[in-house]
Amino acid sequence: MTTALRVPTEHAGARVDVFVADALGESRSAAAARCTRGEVSVAGSPVTKSHRVEEGDEVVVAAAPEVETGGAGVAVPPIRYEDDHLLVVAKPAGLVVHPGAGHTSGTLVQVLADAGIPLAAAGEERRPGIVHRLDRETSGLLAVAKTSVAYDALVALLQARDVHRRYLAVVQAAPPADRGRVEAPIGRDPRDRIRFACIPEGKPAVTGWRLLDTGLAPGMPAHSGRVSLLRCRLETGRTHQIRVHMSYAGCPVVGDRLYGARRDVADALGVRRFALHAAELGFVHPVTGEDVLVTEPPPEDLAAVIARAGMTVPPAASA
């Protein structure tokens, strides 16, 4: 279902996110998020949140699809580090980080709040304490701020590229070298607003990668079933960055149909989500100044996929 809104005289020249927020009675951040997801159109074309509306414009707001998220009673994920200022959790695949359109309950933020864990009253309205995110289908380590001081400092560290983040990824094909670096700007795909893409007008994005092992999807020939285990290092933190960059490099993450991964490879390996795992998270503690480095081995489902392809995780990259 969509909602069509006609811009009255008093709203002429207003930003579209402000207009939509007022018209629908929701927060400006929620309306801005709708624009980011491509749900707000003027004259039949999606617009950014900063678009200025004119008197008489018809603004169409598409309803986001409802997604079942599991509801209440979700267990608190394993906490790998915690003090009075912040914590690092091992998020399982399938858990949404914070509420949003279609994800109204059972999110990490709500689970932590229900458990009585304080969250920094900073950041966007529906994501208190969340300084960076993982996709729903990606497992691994995520930092959450308990205090505003920790939140502000962690955000600053991320912006300065001073947070150590490494991922394990099972990708299709084999890269051309043992290690490499993808440096390509990322922005929303102009042809498909659900996707992101490497486009000249995107934001700077850099991903380093190292080949750990190569393998084969069971029952498939080498030319189509070859897979590789990579350790990827984020130098920036754009939405879907590893997924977009690996697809751009010709090695999409296994199971990631949005970015070109083959269904037959995923089926042969028994992959039921993105074969992507946030394995290392390190930073200088924003309050104590101590070095914090947390590691997390791949969960059972991903470890089984790696073994099924005949690959192994080297000890230095087991987390």
Q: For the segment 90-144, what is each residue's pLDDT rounded down to a tens digit?
A: 999 999 887 765 556 688 998 998 888 888 876 666 678 889 989 999 999 999 9
Average pLDDT over residues 57-70: 63
Q: What percentage of the chain exceeds 70 in pLDDT?
A: 91
pLDDT at 318: 57
- Does residue 226 sit in the same domain as residue 77? no
* Angstrom distance (rounded) from CA 163 to CA 20: 36
- Does residue 189 sit in the same domain as residue 250? yes
Give the β-pairing of 40-42 and 58-62.
Answer: antiparallel
- Does residue 104 sit in the same domain as residue 181? no
Confidence of residue 249 (pLDDT cuts 50, 70, 90): very high
Q: Who's near 191: CB < 8 A, 6+ residues apart?
A: none
- Does residue 174 sit in the same domain as residue 305? yes
Least confident of 17-26, 96-105, 143-152, 156-165: 96-105
* Angstrom distance (rounded) from CA 100 to CA 95: 13
Confidence of residue 258 (pLDDT cuts 50, 70, 90): very high
pLDDT at 123: 60
315/65: higher pLDDT: 315
pLDDT at 104: 60
Contact 167, 140 (CB under 8 A): yes
pLDDT at position 204 over 90: yes
Q: What percentage of the chain exceeds 90 in pLDDT?
A: 66
Quote the domain boundaries for residue 148.
65-160
- Does residue 259 sit in the same domain as residue 168? yes
- Does residue 57 sit in the same domain as residue 192? no
- Does residue 202 sit in the same domain as residue 86? no
pLDDT at 238: 94
Q: Mean pLDDT across the chain, nearest whole number?
A: 89
Structure tokens at 239: 């939405």
Average pLDDT over residues 170-178: 96
- Does residue 91 sit in the same domain as residue 234? no
- Single pTM value for the model: 0.76
- Does residue 21 sit in the same domain as residue 115? no
Structure tokens at 193: 């607003």
Q: Which of 25-29, 57-61, 74-78, 240-244 has the highest mean pLDDT?
A: 240-244
Q: Please, which contacts does 194-202 make with residues 24 or more away whose CB atoms are closer than 8 Å?
A: 194/37, 194/38, 194/258, 195/240, 195/258, 195/259, 196/238, 196/239, 196/240, 196/244, 197/244, 197/248, 198/244, 198/245, 198/248, 202/238
- Does residue 75 sit in the same domain as residue 149? yes
- Which of 57, 135, 162, 189 does the annotation list as catalytic? 135
- Does residue 112 sit in the same domain as residue 141? yes
Structural domains of the chain, count: 3
Q: At which of 62, 95, 111 does a domain end?
A: 62
* Angstrom distance (rounded) from CA 26 to CA 20: 8
Average pLDDT over residues 217-243: 96
pLDDT at position 71 over 90: no
Q: At which of 45, 62, 79 does a domain end?
A: 62
pLDDT at position 68 over 50: no
Least confident of 18-22, 104-108, 270-274: 104-108
pLDDT at position 26 over 80: no
Question: What CATH number is given to the structural domain containing 202?
Answer: 3.30.2350.10
pLDDT at 1: 62
pLDDT at 231: 98
pLDDT at 67: 33
- Told to judge if 57 belongs to the known catalytic residues of this protein, a careful annotator would answer no
pLDDT at 227: 98
Please give, one letter per residue, the 3-state secondary structure of the chain: CEEEEECCHHHCCCEHHHHHHHHHCCCHHHHHHHHHCCCEEECCEECCCCCECCCCCEEEEECCCCCCCCCCCCCCCCEEEECCCEEEEEECCCCCCCCECCECCCCHHHHHHHCCCCCCCCCCCCCCCECCCCCCCCEEEEEEECCHHHHHHHHHHHHCCCCEEEEEEEEECCCCCCEEEEECCEEECCCCCCCEEECCCCECCEEEEEEEEEEECCCCCHHHHEEEEEEEEECCCCCCHHHHHHHHCCCCECCCHHHCCCHHHHHHHCCCCCCEEEEEEEEECCCCCCEEEEECCCCHHHHHHHHHCCCCCCHHHCC
- Does residue 55 sit in the same domain as residue 75? no
Using one digit for the tens of pLDDT, what is the confidence trace for 279-294? 999 999 999 999 999 9
